[in-house]
Amino acid sequence: MSDIAVLKFGGTSVKNVQRLRHVASIVEEKARAQKVIVVVSAMGDTTDRLLHLAKQCCDEPVPEELDVLLSTGEQVTIALLSILLKDLGLKAKSFTGAQIGIKTDDNHSNADILDISSDFILRALADLDVLVVAGFQGVTAGGAITTLGRGGSDTTAVAIAAAVNAASCDIFTDVDGIYNLDPNKHHGAVRYSHISFDDCLELADNGAQVIHPRAVRAARQHRLPVRVRSTFCLNDPGTLIRSA
């Protein structure tokens, strides 16, 4: 197992520059001990805003062009976070899905990852402290930009962690783990300290939105433990998703 940490931050964790600074501080601390790959979503409601713009142009936007449009959200985040990390003195560089070598099929708006260039990633890490990667996107063999659909950044993070045999894969979000019930609706909801892939999939398939089912399936396939934790409660270990 390589000494690489993969950290994924969702839209609420990076929704403005203040929160991006907080994320940069988390990454900086992690990068003191090991190489880091950060996978990020678009800031806040950016994807919904871009989709709304497209729908103002046409009721049914062409999927190929919609993917080109929606992929720009994550590109804003990777550039801003890389600027912050470099300002902290880290050797960091941003990468789009295409640049990092995420190859997908041509199912636009809901593409599946076919391959990731682990050799390229490892070569890049030899010269850098942190790779900042755009989640939710990839490229076809023909060079067309694709997006991975709902939860795509989770899937990107797990797939990259598996490709480089990472030491850890943490999904940072605005909740402090996985619960048996929605804690916002049920006062007696119980948080899991750990949960099996299969049990987590059952929760996800039944509507739990903390981590996307495709990401859990990918983690199960590669037997990759994944920790879901809060961006804002760093001392809290969250929930570990693992083999039973």
In order of start, what are the domains of the chain with their CATH numbers? 7-242 (3.40.1160.10)
135-161: average pLDDT: 96
Length of the chain: 244
CB 231 within 8 A of CB 173: yes
124: which 2 tokens? 């890049």
Question: Given pLDDT bands bounded at 50, 70 and 90, which one contains residue 151?
Answer: confident
Give pLDDT tens digits for 184-199: 788 888 899 999 999 9
* pTM, full prediction: 0.95
Question: Given pLDDT bands bounded at 50, 70 and 90, which one contains residue 244?
Answer: confident
CA distances from 10 to 14, 120, 164 (A): 7, 25, 21
